[in-house]
Amino acid sequence: MFELCGEAFGNFQNALKDFDASALVETIPHFHDTPKRYVDFDSAVKTDVRGRVETCKDEIEFITKRKDTYGKIADMLIRGELPLRVTHNDTKLNNILIDEKSGKPRAIIDLNTVMPGSLLYDFGDSIRFGASTACEDEKDLSKVHFSIELYEAYKSGFLRAASGGITEKEVELLPYSAYLMTIECGMRFLTDYLCGDTYFITKYAEHNLVRVRTQLKLASEMEKKFGIIS
């Protein structure tokens, strides 16, 4: 199933590979601008408006320690080393309609976040969401692992469908994109937690912090399995 989802989003990219993405506007400015997300996070740590920094020092240290890695994709887009593409920007599996009889993807939905960007953002976010062995807000971190098998399945379907237009550099950066989007999401959860839970819907006081910890657990395992230096 995950391989077919990869194929669905690969088909999305392949169908739009010749579209001039610069003609699109950013419906949500700086949505996957990870360096900007870090600036916002750093500001939230320094202002600490809700007095929560003491409750998440380990998580803050994890994100801060890796700050020099966050600009790779954004900088390569600026330098023209990666192509600007039409991106969906919310490539969770629940944004694919699945045929209840065949079990095959029928359509990609939730297109209100379609913007110019890098296909690496879409690939990485799918892996962040779909290659985890637990829910995004699982409290028991012993259940949270990054599945290399699910990663390879999605990658296989994605590349099979997108092979007509994807560049060698994009293929090379697929593992890194999964890592970056996972840390970026964790960073966003932690920023919101520090600011008083004003963006993401929460069901209890530490809901965002629980989400942070699942993302950083996944990112930590990706570092080891992909050989990424933190």
Confidence of residue 229 (pLDDT cuts 50, 70, 90): low
Tell me what the mean pLDDT of segment 183-208 comes to.
97
pLDDT digits (tens, 9 = 90+) for 68-104: 999 999 999 999 999 999 999 999 888 899 888 888 8
Place of tokens 């892996």: 127
Q: What percent of the chain has pLDDT over 70?
A: 99
pLDDT reading at 230 higher than 80: no
Which amino acid, one-letter code, is at 131? A
- Mean pLDDT lowest for which of 8-22, 93-107, 205-219? 93-107
Confidence of residue 140 (pLDDT cuts 50, 70, 90): very high
pLDDT of residue 135: 95
- Cα–Cα–Cα angle for 97, 100, 104, rounded to 5 degrees: 60
* pTM (2 d.p.): 0.94
Tokens describing residue 116 = 């110019």
Q: What domains are there in the chain, each with its CATH number?
A: 2-226 (3.90.1200.10)
pLDDT of residue 196: 97
CA–CA gap between residue 209 and residue 191 (Å, rounded): 10
Confidence of residue 58 (pLDDT cuts 50, 70, 90): very high
Cβ partners under 8 Å of residue 98, min gap 6: 1, 104, 105, 106
pLDDT of residue 222: 97
Is the separation of the CB atoms in 14 and 49 below 8 Å?
A: no
